Amino acid sequence: MRLSTILSEVARNLATGTTRAVGLALALGVAAGALAALDASTIVGMEHDAARYRSAAADVRTVSAPGLVDPQACDALGGSTSVQDAGALVPTTPVVPSATPASPLQSFAVTPSLAGVLAVRSPLPEGVWMSDQLAERLGLARGATLETHDGPLVLAGTFAWPDDGRDGRLGFAVLRPTVTNARFEECWAAAWPTTPAVEDLLRGVVDVQPQSTEAITVGQVNRSLGAAYDAHATYVARPTRYAVAACAVLGLVLGYASVRRRRLEHAGALHAGQSRSAQLATSSLETVVWAAVGTAVSVVGLRVVVARVGAMDPTAVFDVVVRGPVLGALCAVVGATVAACLVREQHLFRYFKDR
């Protein structure tokens, strides 16, 4: 059979409904799309869990060693492979507001790089930092001045510090950015992903003295969400990871069934003189058409789903889950080809009796 003849037969089979292309395309598109959408929803949920973990400062690790923390070594941790930001702090003399002398505010000297750990919003070059709730309680806005017994303090920046289980000391404290070589008490490091190696890095900023009896304590700013969150392990172990394999099996079954149900027709064509190669080409092309349409249905649906479930990186999520429908379409062609190869002309009468 010439190629034009094969294409003409494929077109007639599709137009007359012999292949049941519409039903097969919808079955593949809807089922594979649903499996992929379920996987997308799971991945986006994991994204939100990771974001909540980080927004709660649960990813911030700390080391405490009074009078032994090297601020320069602490600052140098920021920007490394595992640590995005790091900064040191040490308690100082409380701040006594002139308006409320009976209610002194806890004060910390901090290295300027701690702004990255606390996500201080656009700090001014000079002044102090405080949490949003403390600034609101004092009636201060960025750039405003707080009168104290030791002189005026300019509010250079604020940061969010809700009461969600994190270290509460900074919620009502005044932070004074300071550049000094003096030893600090703590080093805080925002590390993502969280790995045991971060704790080793933090211990490295402590200037251990042979005669020192101070304990070195490694901790976490917020323990309410767990001591660690292994995002990669959670992603790899997600229950919907088998969605791609399920799409492949679905495609194989549909492709195989689409040809097997027509085995009498195919055996009759072979008996009438159609070559095996022409029959394989015809069944494969028919399957390619309805599998491609089904995949298009899945892809369009996935685009909508990924956009609506609030993915932080829609393109990355789509690139992961779209593999299922695409693999399903490829396996449909494989299944149809296998079924066509199993059709035997000598079984024509058996197929007829089994009909």
Task: Look at residue 292 and tell me whether its pLDDT is greater than 70.
Answer: yes
pLDDT 10s digits, 26-46: 999 999 999 999 999 999 999
pLDDT 10s digits, 62-115: 999 988 999 999 999 997 888 999 999 999 999 999 988 899 999 999 999 999
Higher pLDDT, 119 or 282: 119
End-to-end CA distance of the chain: 28
CA–CA separation, 346 and 255 (whole Å): 23
CA–CA separation, 337 and 342 (whole Å): 9
Residue 88 host element (H or E): strand 83-95
Task: Look at residue 5 and tell me whether its pLDDT is greater than 70.
Answer: no
Q: What is the pTM of this model?
A: 0.80
pLDDT at 231: 84
* Residue 63 near residue 201, CB atoms below 8 Å: no
- Residue 303, CA atoms < 13 Å, CB-side half-sphere: 5
